[in-house]
């Protein structure tokens, strides 16, 4: 089996579905996502609060029939895996109702189903893997690791950029306030100095 044929099989081997979202949850609001999932599917979720307040949020997972499968209270980031026992609509809700004024920016990953390994597909062969096939498997695994690293770096870059932009905005506002205070103080000093050199008004002498 050539390397080109192995990579042609990749879309067929990836049986699961992956979703990655970055969204905003306003204060005193709840954001929910709905997904129809079959029976006996492995579901992996991961969330992380990037910006907002204390970087925490409530998460509730509902199964078919609105029954609560799992809940997390004021978590900053979490990874959780479970297997579906029923077929139907699953709901993933992010609740920010406990926050009165700060909105949250959340990263959410949802993986459904298992990814079949290339080595399992090749195990049906009677002969051992060739050097090219082994290299293709290594490349495939390395690409998966690179994807995970890129996601982690992208989230760190987003959080760092947001903090930098917020700091820059506050520095600009503080500088503007200092400039206005300096102008007012300078104008007040000019008026004060002019009052020192202003002559007393001449008063008419009384006539007898």
| Residue 4: predicted pLDDT | 35
pLDDT tier at 194, thresholds 50, 70, 90: confident
The per-residue pLDDT for range 58-89, each reduced to its tens digit, is: 999 999 988 899 999 999 889 999 999 889 99
Q: Is the model's pLDDT at 95 over the cut of 80?
A: yes
d(CA 119, CA 134): 9
Instruction: Please write the tens of the pLDDT for every residue from 119-146.
Output: 555 555 545 667 787 788 788 788 888 8
* DSSP secondary structure string for all residues of 106-155: EEEEEEESPPPPHHHHHTTSSSPPPHHHHHHHHHHHHHHHHHHHHHHHHH
pTM for this entry: 0.66
pLDDT digits (tens, 9 = 90+) for 5-41: 333 334 434 445 788 889 999 988 999 999 999 998 9
Per-residue pLDDT, 206: 58
Cα–Cα distance, 22 to 48 (Å, whole number): 9
* pLDDT at residue 207 in the model: 60
Distances (CA, A) of 168 to 11, 46, 156, 158, 161: 45, 31, 18, 15, 10
Contact 122, 10 (CB under 8 A): no
């Amino acid at each position: 089996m050539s390397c080109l044929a192995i990579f042609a099989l990749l879309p067929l081997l990836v049986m699961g579905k992956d979703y990655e979202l970055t969204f905003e949850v306003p204060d005193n609001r709840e954001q929910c996502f709905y997904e129809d999932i079959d029976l006996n599917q492995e579901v992996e979720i991961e969330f992380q609060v990037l910006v907002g307040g204390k970087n925490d949020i409530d998460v509730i997972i509902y199964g078919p029939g609105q029954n609560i499968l799992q809940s997390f209270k004021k978590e900053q980031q979490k990874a959780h895996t479970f297997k579906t026992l029923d077929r139907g609509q699953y709901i993933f809700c992010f609740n920010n109702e406990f926050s009165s004024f700060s909105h949250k920016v959340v990263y959410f990953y949802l993986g459904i189903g298992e990814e079949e390994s290339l080595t399992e597909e090749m195990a049906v062969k009677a002969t051992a893997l060739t050097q090219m096939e082994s290299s293709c498997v290594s490349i495939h695994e390395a690409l998966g690791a690179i994807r995970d690293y890129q996601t982690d770096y992208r989230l760190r870059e987003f959080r760092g950029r947001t903090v930098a932009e917020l700091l820059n905005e506050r520095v600009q506002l503080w500088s503007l306030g200092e400039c206005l205070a300096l102008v007012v103080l300078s104008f007040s000093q000019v008026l004060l100095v002019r009052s020192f050199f202003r002559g007393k008004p001449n008063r008419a002498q009384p006539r007898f």
